[in-house]
Structure 1
Amino acid sequence: MMATAAASDQSANFQIRPDLKDKFRSSVVRDLIHSVLVEKLTGFVYSAEAGNEMSQAISDLIRNKCIELSLPRYKFMVNVVIGEQRGEGVKIGARCLWDADTDNYASDVFLAETFFCSAAVFAVYFY
């Protein structure tokens, strides 16, 4: 009898959706991404090697800042692409399978004369 009561108490406390205050807000994260891109890429001179290192540094910084938001049970995936501007078009796509009520994404683009940078954060609520 006692084990049944404890199990029912635990199931009553299990939360399948985040509280409103703990929900991922794409506008907040978009501003976070924008500030990181401006901070790291203003004055940056593009080269293939430097682009690789910078994209890693930017993705780590964005991920750490998302973690600092303290959104419980969210997992973050960060994708950063830096490429050279050559007057050609670039298309970047992503597909995810997620819960539209809890999961979301935010993205921003930084454009300079010689390069571009696209950054996206995908936030998935871990049930």
Structure 2
Amino acid sequence: MNRERLGDGFRPSQVKEVIDSILEEKLTSFVYEKEAVDEMAMVISNALRNRIIGSMPTEMNFPRYKYVVNVVIGELRGAGVKVAARCLWDADTDNYSSSMFVGETFFCTATVFAAYYY
């Protein structure tokens, strides 16, 4: 695929700034409670999706991309945690951006996958 046909491709560094700001905004005063984690993960996922898709025409301008947003929140209890993802995609066009936030009692990883829609 000729890169010129793609125009401005997905820029992971720009999306990482968005992820960092949303995690900071939503999780700075968050206290881990088992009952609140599901809702907070959805709040973060929706905020990421809305900020990235909502700003595309002006700020980010990533036309023809489909997105998958994944948010994991877990309690820090002294055990190790590994979060992994595998995708089958076009290495020339598809990409992702990810970031992590660590609070006193919890961790959160957020990943935005961008797949170019031909």
Q: What is the Cα deviation at residue 49 of structure 1?
A: 1.5
Aligned residues of 1:23 and 1:102 also touching (Cα < 8 A): yes
Pick from 49, 72, 82 the counterpart of residue 63 of structure 1.
49
Moved over 6 A (4+): none
Match in the other structure for 2:90: 99
Tell me the matched-pair count. 111
Q: Which runs of 5+ in 1 are unaligned?
A: 1-14
For 1:85, give the aligned amino acid.
Answer: L
Percent identical among aligned pairs is 59
Match in the other structure for 1:42: 28
Local SS of the residue matching 2:6: coil
Match in the other structure for 2:72: 81
Local SS of the residue matching 1:82: strand
Cα distance in 1 for residues equivalent to 2:5 and 2:110? 27
TM-score by length of 2: 0.90
Cα distance in 2 for residues equivalent to 1:79 and 1:16? 30
Match in the other structure for 2:101: 110
For 1:35-77, what per-residue CA distance to the aligned partner results, in whole angstroms no more than 9, with x for missing partners? Answer: 0000000010111121110000000100111112232110010
Q: Which runs of 5+ in 2 are unaligned?
A: none
Match in the other structure for 1:18: 6
Local SS of the residue matching 2:108: strand
Match in the other structure for 2:113: 122
Question: Which one has a bigger Cα radius of gyration?
Answer: 1
Cα distance in 2 for residues equivalent to 1:89 and 1:69? 36
Q: What is the Cα deviation at residue 79 of structure 1?
A: 0.2
**Cα 1:47/1:17, change in 2 over 3 Å:** farther
